[in-house]
Chain A
Amino acid sequence: MKIALSWIKEFVDLNGISTDEIVSQLTMSGLEVEDVVDQSNLYKNFIVGFVKETQKHPNADKLTICKVFDGKDDLQVICGASNVSAGQKIVFAPIGTEIPNGNFVIKKAKIRGVESNGMICAEDELLLSDDHSGIMVLDEKLEAGKSITEALNLNDVILEIAITPNRPDALSHIGVARDLAALFDRDLIIPEIKLSESSEDVNKLASVIIEDEVNCPRYIAKVVKDVKIKESPKWLKDRLEKIGLRPRNNIVDITNLVLHECGQPLHAFDLDKLSDHKIVVKSTKSETSFTSLDSKERKLPLNTLMICDASREVAIAGVMGGENSEITETTKNILIESAYFHPSSIRKTSKTLGLSTDASYRFERGTDPNITKYAAERCAQLVADLADGKIANGIIDVYPKVINPKEIELRFSRTTKILGYDVASEKIKNILSRLGLAIKVLDEDKLLVSVPTFRPDIEREIDLIEEIARINGYDNIPTVSKINITLEKKTDETEVDEKIRQAATSLGFFEMINNPLQSEKEVKISGSPVKLANPLSADMEYLRSTLISGALITVSKNLRQGVKDIKLFEIGDVFNKTNEGEIKSFDDFTEDQNLLFIISGKEQDKGWNTEVIDSDFYLLKGLVDSFLAKVSLDNVLNDSYYAAANEIYAYYLTKNSNGVELGKGGKIKSDVLKQFDINQDVYCFEFNFTHLKNVKAKNNGYVDPLKYPKIIRDFAFVLDKSVKYLDVKEFIKKKSSNLLKEVSVFDIFENETLGENKKSIAFTLEFYDKDRTLTEDEVEKDFNNLISLITKEFNAQLRGK
């Protein structure tokens, strides 16, 4: 919101206080000043120029060569605007002037071969408006060479203030002035209105009925007759332009002025267009079509609060007037509306229509029901003064239930308890009074504070404490240097995540963070993803149900960037619907934390002394098993193997605990890869981390390093190709004596000499005992026994030997 300091100074005496101080105090009391425009500094070099002659530029159709008189000399200036012509007074930027819009400095230049010594300005270049349709043409009576800060009265300071939603009272000049009065301990001055009314009774000219008292607790109408619609006087236009408003005609400008002065939105109807000269405030009973004064036809839903006349709707209450009752050049008599509408009713209308106006913005935050009369009278008097109208006698004020100030008790002791320091009671009383709150001392510790209706945000004692804190300054609250720490156990629910991340990074994985919002095509690769009701765009319409989709998006993006070797992990939440219906409770969906590993390309590039390691299923399996070992979950989970494809994997394994699947991974199917535009093999493993966390890690304690030697034996068998390594291994373990402790594979191959559908698997066996040295004989016996058993069981043939 824009505030002009000159305007503020009508309501509070700020003599002797610098702009910097005002800005800093406002920011430090909660009215954050986001921008300061000091016009006398901004426009110090601009002067009034006189265009003496013009001629066409010889080399450019759209350019004009102007002879501009700057008060002393005639200067040649090139102008690109089509509305420039001889005899105009214009805003002239001499060489060396900094142009506010764009921060550039005017230099002597040759434009298409012709010299130019300055610039003739448009409104947008001066940040006066967005208008760039042509140059600003000034009053011809202005004297050439005069500074525009003086000639155009551009010597104000304009503040852009961010008003938080709890402070509707500060959405006007009087509102901001009230805070300044409290901050600088000065008086707030609200000028009295001297109404001059005619003898004609307002009740004979118009009537008001409120049918919806809940949504419209108060409606005031004031009538002014015989007005002349015309341009506003210069002071009024200046004032509105300074705060970024475009002047329209005197009546509209006056309502805007009063709004920005005291915060009360007003609306002026053409009284003669209101059938029966009647106002009825009621809500729509059915869907209604209505043309607002911006000439747009709008569909109004059921229960929209409307202003009607005897026969039809004439305005959307609190939001915008209607075309059918609008003020035009021929309007003679007007009815000024000054009402209080219920905030949530106006918010609902504004939201459903997608229409936010200066009026709706204030009504939905909460206006002051008791400023309505002041605003109506102020407006009427200005209309009388500036539009030559005659104010009808009296006021129509429908206010069935008067809204009174709230009374709140404030304890000094409570103030200290919240803020952590004592604010002197006299200081507290002064702050509250300056803010317009009435106080009564109840006892030593207690005040009874009466909060006027312009502060709907102050409802409780704590709200008063905030007022004290912010006006007295947060800087005055001490900063303690000691705190109490209790000795009970601290918990960290993210601790396990951190261990997981450590394990993953130590295995060479980089952590990625993917956007859980993805397109339908992406998330639909598995699960029952949750759809957003109001997505930002179609490519972010769903919440992911798996981490795989996001990971594949990332792989694809990296490949496009030429990064082909991928080793990534992610910990993140995934969401799945548990039934078809709308989500109404936490039972209708699951949110699980998942953990995903993904590899593709080379794990290790060929170096001068390193061999290439390509990503494949066994690399993935090894990494996943190493990871589980790092987090003490090795030999806790069981593997299951699936050679046939599912919806995502060409082949895969699962990790299970007590029959529950905790993770799954393998080679991504090529049609899935194609969908993500990936043209190299990708291997991926995903754990349900929420469930994995619940698996009890093994805790074998400490094992003494072996003190006696191991005896190691190898053998290799030719087997049918269909025989699985694991089956042989399990068989060996089952059939051997307890001296055999480890079985591992050290070679596998196939070739013609072995025969068709045959392969060779070579095993290493480790025999030992932790309490004694084994003899060759006992190992030999076990070993030979195994050979004959394997040969029989698997129809195998011992190789070599």
Chain B
Amino acid sequence: MLDKNITEIKESFYTDIKSVSSIKDIEEIRLKYFSRNGLVSQLFEDLKDVVKEEKPILGKKLNLLRNEVSSYFEEVKERISSTQSNKENEIDLTLPGKNYIVGSKHILTQTLDEIKSIFKGLGFSVANGPELESDYYNFESLNFPADHPARDMQDTFFVSKDFLLRTHTTPVQIRLMEKQAPPVRAIMPGRVYRNEAVSARSYCMFHQVDGIYVDTDVTFAELKGTLVSFAKQFYGSDLKYRFRPSFFPFTEPSAEMDITCYLCHGKGCKICKNSGWLEILGCGMVDPNVFKFVNYDSEKYTGYAFGMGIERIALLKYGITDIRIFFDNDLRFLKQF
């Protein structure tokens, strides 16, 4: 009878202790098994009534049981109480942590960072130039003759007859080539201005990244390769693209690069004006007239150039519908990035 009880109590102890998770549970087990009237103490009481011959064997068995379960109990008790402090100074772990403000770069800076890092990986340097430019750098040296309709493509803010707010970052190409002989491989990020009415779709200033590569054997095929590599790194490797002829005074031949609209996947939607394509950048082979202005031999050297708008890229990427939000600097907007 007692023999059977020993086995049963042992089993029930192990079942009970398995589900222990708090100090309270531990206390319940102590009371149930190890208190004065607990099950284990009860077994020793029962031993008194056992016949004399069985006493030594059962006594030994009982001692073994007590040692085994009580040492296991202590072990579990230790584990539980080390993870949970005792009742008097119990910590409320659910309270919020201390608030630390970590600032952030403007979303346009972050977008530019991403573009820069891709082109730096492709061997490009990064160059700067002034925003208040001369007509010579912004237009003339880039093959926009005075009184030419090509100038209508870029509505300009003038500060005087010959000085203006640059309408593109392309003048930095000229400044760079004036300073160094080929090879030249660089991108030129910066702020540009257009004299256009402010609306959800256009702002009087925005940001661009221009790029140029001039060397002895630069071809249109390499232009395509480089820009496709950029687009795949930036937009995803499964992207579809196309290059379509266009016109810029400083490149010949000129192209615009489109990628499949990521919203409708080419089926046509409002964002892509039902064409299924999104224009992401303009590019082309550097016009020999531009080389003339910087005294490069256009028979020996060829080059490509490209340019893209950063706002447009960020608008598309984050699904922002109003360009003005970039320059409102509402902290509730800035803190999201």
Q: Which residues of A contact B (CB under 8 A)?
A: 27-30, 32, 34, 164-167, 343-344, 347-348, 364-365, 417-421, 460, 462-463, 465-466, 469-470, 474-475, 477-486, 490-495, 498, 501, 504-517, 530-536, 540, 543, 554, 557-558, 561, 563, 566-569, 572-573, 575, 582-584, 586, 589, 591, 603-605, 607-610
Contact = CB atoms under 8 A, between A and B. Distances in A.
A501 B109 contact: yes
Interface in B105-128: 105-106, 108-109, 113, 116, 120, 122-128
Given A543-B132, A558-B329, A584-B162, 5 more contacts: A418-B285, A474-B244, A483-B226, A510-B335, A603-B101
Contacts of A557: 328-330
Most interface-central of B105, B161, B162, B197 (chain A CB within 10 A): B105
15 contacts: A28-B244, A348-B147, A462-B252, A475-B243, A477-B221, A479-B221, A490-B125, A493-B126, A495-B126, A505-B104, A532-B157, A533-B158, A534-B158, A573-B191, A586-B134
Nearest to A531: B159
Contact of A165 (B127, B221, B247, B302): B247
Interface in B184-211: 185, 189, 191, 193, 195-198, 203-205
Contact of B329 (A419, A421, A514): A514
Interface residues of B, number: 88
Interface of B: 95-96, 98-106, 108-109, 113, 116, 120, 122-128, 130-132, 134, 146-150, 152-153, 157-163, 165, 183, 185, 189, 191, 193, 195-198, 203-205, 215, 217, 219-222, 224-226, 228, 242-247, 252-255, 273, 285, 287-288, 302, 326-332, 334-335
Contacts of A515: 203-205, 327
Contact of A167 (B105, B195, B247, B329): B247
Contacts of B302: 417-418
Contacts of A465: 252-253
A32 B131 CA distance: 32
Q: Which of B183, B228, B253, B326 has the most CB of A within 10 A?
A: B253
Nearest to A348: B147
A601 to B, nearest CB: 10
Contacts, number: 254
A543 B103 contact: no
Contacts of A493: 126-128
B228 A462 contact: no
Contacts of B196: 536
A610 B162 CA distance: 57
A162 to B, nearest CB: 10
A536 B222 contact: no
Contacts of A530: 132, 159
B225 A481 contact: yes
Contacts of A513: 106, 108-109, 326-327, 329
A454 to B, nearest CB: 17
Given A420-B219, A477-B224, A506-B102, A512 B329 contact: yes
Given A420-B221, A490-B124, A512-B334, A469 B253 contact: yes
A30 B124 CA distance: 29
B244 A32 contact: yes
A32 B100 CA distance: 52
A716 B193 CA distance: 59
Contact of B220 (A419, A485, A536, A605): A419
A567 B101 contact: yes
B221 A480 contact: yes
A451 to B, nearest CB: 15
A456 B116 CA distance: 39
Contacts of A569: 103
Nearest to A571: B109
A470 B95 CA distance: 66
Nearest to A563: B331
A536 B221 contact: no
Given A490-B124, A501-B105, A474 B334 contact: no
B316 to A, nearest CB: 18
B220 A420 contact: yes
A419 B196 CA distance: 36
Contacts of B197: 536
Contact of B247 (A164, A469, A506, A561): A164
Nearest to B203: A515
Contacts of B106: 510-513
The listed residue with most B CB atoms (<10 A of its CB), out of A34, A506, A512, is A512
A381 B329 CA distance: 65
The 4 closest A-B pairs by CB, nearest first: A420-B221, A420-B219, A30-B245, A480-B225
B57 to A, nearest CB: 62
A535 B242 CA distance: 38
Q: Determine which residue in B163, B196, B198, B215 has the highest number of CB atoms from chain A within 10 A of its CB, and name it.
A: B163
Contacts of B98: 607, 609-610
B128 A494 contact: yes
A591 B159 contact: no
A480 B185 CA distance: 17
Given A418-B219, A474-B244, A534 B331 contact: no
Contacts of B125: 490-492
A610 B220 contact: no
B131 A610 contact: no
B96 A478 contact: no
Contacts of B101: 508, 567, 603-604
Contacts of A32: 244, 246
A563 B161 CA distance: 43
A607 B99 contact: yes
Given A480-B224, A558-B330, A165 B159 contact: no
A479 B224 contact: yes
Nearest to A467: B253
Contacts of A608: 95-96
B175 to A, nearest CB: 11
Most buried by A among B125, B149, B158, B203: B149
Contacts of A466: 245, 252-254
Given A28-B245, A486-B183, A364 B252 contact: no
A34 B226 CA distance: 28
Contacts of A484: 215
Nearest to A36: B274
A419 B243 CA distance: 13
Contact of A469 (B104, B152, B220): B220
B235 to A, nearest CB: 16
A478 B225 CA distance: 8
A505 B219 contact: no
B225 A506 contact: no
Contacts of A533: 157-160
A497 B315 CA distance: 24
A420 to B, nearest CB: 3
